[in-house]
Every structure is written in C-alpha cells, then in structure tokens.
Structure 1
Amino acid sequence: MHTDLVAALDVGGTKIAAALVDGDGALLVRAQRPTPAREGAETVMGAVAEVLAELSGSPLWGRATAVGIGSAGPVDASAGTVSPVNVPGWRDFPLVERVGKAVGGLPVELVGDGVAMTAAEHWLGAARGYDNALCMVVSTGVGGGLVLGGELHPGPTGNAGHIGHVSVDLDGAPCPCGSRGCVERIASGPNIARRALEAGWRPGPDGDASAAAVAAAARAGDPVALASFERAAQALAAGIAATAALVEIDIAVIGGGVAGAGDILFAPLRRALQRYATLSFIRQIEVAPAVMGTDAGLVGAAAAAARVGPGGAVAVRG
C-alpha cells in the first residue's frame, strides 16, 4: 500500500538529521551530518542540502508529500526564517524557502525544536491521549511547546510555549535573553552546575563539572548538589504552574539531558508543584518524563508538517 510519507528535518547546533516518516511515526530512511556551526550560512545550508539529497535518493522519496522542519531557535515560522543561537552564521536565514527549492516545491512547515518535541510526545509519547499539555526540553537551554484542545499550538512564529523565558524570579540574575530570573537561567544544565560550583560543590577526580555530575553527587547525598537541583525544580514548578493558570494544562512532560537525573529532579519538582499549583483547576497536573528520546525532533517535525489527526493518524496536508 503506497501511503503518504513526510520528510522531516531536525536542525541543531551539533547535528542536522533528516528522515522519511510514515503515518505510524516510523523513521524509514535516515540521513545525518554534523552541523558546521562555526561556518558561514551557505556551508550550513550545504549540510542541509546533503541530508535532503540523501533522502531524495531513496526509492521511497516519491511518496513524500510535505517537509517538516524542527529547528533550534529563535525561529520565525511566519517569515520562514531561522536564527539559531548556536549557529551564528544563520541570522534570519530563509530556511523554508531554501528547503522548498531543494525538495522541488513540496509544502514546508517550520517550528521551533521545543514545539517539535511537543508534537512527538503528543503523537506517540508521554502526552499521548492528553488534550492539553506542556512539553519541555531541559538541557543546555530550556524550551517547550503546547498542545491545547487536542491540537499542537505553535503560535504565529512557531515559538509558543517557550517556558524557558518565563520570568520566575523578578529580581533574579540577568538572563542572556535580556530579561531577569528566567526559568532557563535557573533550571538549565549549565546553570545547575554553575550554582553548585558557586556554593562549594567540587567535581570528582575526572573533573566532570556537568549537571549530570551534579546529579550523581546529589544521588550520593551531597547537600550542595541536592540544593542546586531543588532550586531548578522550584523554577520549573513555578513556570509550569504559571502556564497551567494561563491555559489549563493536564500534564507537563519533561525531557532533555537534565530530565535524565530522574528522581533527583522529579521528586523535588512534584513537591514544589504542590506549593505553586494551588488553584482548584491546576492542582491535578501530572508530571511525566518524556519518552521519545533523540528521535523526538524528527518525529515531531513530521507531526508538525502532517498535523497529526485524531487518534494518532497522520492527516497530511498537500
């Protein structure tokens, strides 16, 4: 049976991945290149063109009806441009137009990587079956996306749900975004590690000073490491509670490297939510770890292009 496929593109600071994705979310053909993040705009586009050329060389390419792109941000879906913080050569780069030309005019849908992860978790992951969800990536940064009324809600520019830049500490430390006390400034991996180091935590003999090393120390009972995760959990809980008060979500799904800390993050997060999510209509929020892993970007980009229909069927436009 020749069912339609969607081509998916996942653009990050480390790798550019592409896949042909079927209506069940299976990745049938994959291609990947390292992101030449320090190079100029055309060199980065060259890597995108290479993965797309690899896909289009597949005998299955003829079944592709649309292309979905999930990109590190900021993105501007209304303009079709991307300006990823970690790819300095791309500023207002017209990625939708360039990809459209490379794939012979197929329709192209662009969303931020947090929205792509959300689309994947809602289609096949921890948010499946929930009509209202906030999904978050807690990693080097903190991103996110929303599902409202059973539909992905990317917003006009593809950035809706960007919880990392909700301020949860009015007089907090300046954030690189220009605001103060943002969730990201407190809860991202590098900030968890920075805070632990500033409070006197010391890495082991291997010199690993990452958030994962802080999590390991917290698991072993180190009070400074535990306190840094407690503070991150508090910031996440405040951001989740604020989001729930605004749009009424049923579940918050958390992925990314920091979520790999498991109960070191989730136990204090659930405790903190009880303190912040106090209104009757937000008391019952569930918190769950993301389950889609490293394929979330590709699966979510495909879902965004196809706009997953009722019951998990892909309703491809085009």
Structure 2
Amino acid sequence: MTINAHFASPTLITLGDVDLEVFEAGRENRGNPIVLCHGWPEHAWSWRHQMPALAAAGYHVIVPNQRGYGNSSRPPAVEDYDIVHLTHDLAALLDHFGYDAATFAGHDWGANVVWSMALLHPGRVRRIINLALPYQLRTPVPWIEFMESVFGPDNYFVHFNRQPGVADAILDANTSRFLSNLFRKNVPAVPPEPGMMMINLATASAPSGDPVMSEEDLAVFISSFEPSGFTASINWYRNMDRNWRILADVDPIVRQPALMIYGTRDMIPPSETLAEFVPNVEVLSLDCGHWIQQEMPIETTRAMLDWLAVRQAA
C-alpha cells in the first residue's frame, strides 16, 4: 500500500544504530520544527490531518515512524525499546536536521515518549502538546506490579509482560480484524468482557461502534503491521518497569509550556495531579474517544494551532 499523494514520500534516515522512516511537510519552514509522535498500534499516518495545516501555519513538520513501526528499524532485544532509546531517537532526529530544540506533540504512547523527552532531554523540548495520555506519576512500586495489583493479570499491560509472545501471535494472526475492531469511535459503554482486551478485539467476530477512518486509511495501518508483526511495538510495554528504574533519580517536573488534550469518552481518565508535575499546562477536552486527532481532526488541529499561536507570540 502506498501512502497517498497528500502524504509526502518518506525518507529513511540513519540515526546511529537505527533507521527511522520519517515523513515531512513544510520543509520551506526550516527553523520552526514540530515533531509529531504516534501511539500504539499506529503509524505516522495518524497525523495525516494535522500535517498540512501545521505546514501552512509555518512549521517544519517532522513525523517519524518510531523504532518498531512501519519501515523503521526493529531491533531484536526487548531492552532496545526502553525510554532511553526512544527519547534518544528523537534527540538524534533533531541533530540530523540541525535543530537544538523543537515543539513536540504526542498521542498515546507517543505522549509518554514526549513527557519523558522533557525529563531526559529538557533542553531539546520547547513546547509540548500531548493527546490522550497525561503525565504518568512514578508509582511506589514498579509500574507493571502496580497495574497488576490494581487491574489484575488480564490487563493488557500486565499480560504483555507476564505472558510474552502470547498476545503477539494472536494479533499477528488477526492483523486486519484486530486493527479494524480497535480503531472505533462512539463505542457503547458496556461492562468489560472477561479476558484480555486486545486479544478479545483480535478475535471478535464483529466490531462495536463506528469506524474511526476510511477503509483506505485503515489499509495503511494494516499493510504496515502485516509484514512486521506486533512484537517490536509491544516491546515498548515490556520496558515499563525498566523505565520506572531509569526515571528513579530524574527530576519529575516538566517545566515546558504544555497543552493536554483529553477525549471525554476515552478510557484513560484525566490526571488529578497534572498541574503539580506540569505547572505550565493548559487542559482541553474534546467530545471524542481515544483516537483524538483522527476522530475530531478539525477540532484537534484548530486547538493545536490556536495554542501554538499564543505561545509563539509570547
């Protein structure tokens, strides 16, 4: 599947020991970079609605498929996907383009990487726009142990770690069905089914709710994961406790100006302590589910541009 004409052809950029597949828009706006970071199980394509508008507003838009995704490298070791590697890739990407710092936007896992980028490479981050996933406090015990105690063994974060390879094989065998069932909106509120959510989605005979995207757009995601499988991307989850240890002695305060955008129908709840750890944050909620910038692309893009315009002028 080729990316359509509205999405510029990617460049495969070598950054040390990995290659990243990088899409760009607004190269003529060199000097005003914004880096957009996708979530799981996604692709740079998830930012397709925002790229042209940001370029038209004067930004050099840089959208990588992060390690483990698309045609970017998929190193074999689990620890190659820890937060040190993921944030180092973004710092190296800035180096490649000759930028000291950039505005960063992230959705879902991409938001986690952006929050961590502000902690581990604070001088490289000018402003932050994060969607869906608020700043995650470091729990008293390692994250997976904490999540298992609260949510049980069928929580997919826990399952990915405690039963390595099991979910991977099921998702790999049902790629099209899994992604079609996952990327939904207006999903009715019902009690959770027994079992592991992602496996349930991969094996469900019929989806719930409405599709987030067209069949053509969904085909970009499916064609990305069918040849590669899901293990490399799931390895991000398998570093949660490693990341917990890495961040033990890191200053936990994010000092950059930040915009946090929630979906009011998302399963991820808003953070009650966000302003304590991100003191320069503004919060906005949109009437949508988890796939914010794809469910409400016009509203998301407008929110980003309006906030950036004020911050640029400040």
Q: TM class, shorter-chain normalised?
A: 0.3 to 0.5
For the pair shown, the structure with the greater C-alpha radius of gyration is: 1
Give the TM-score taking structure 1 as reference length: 0.32
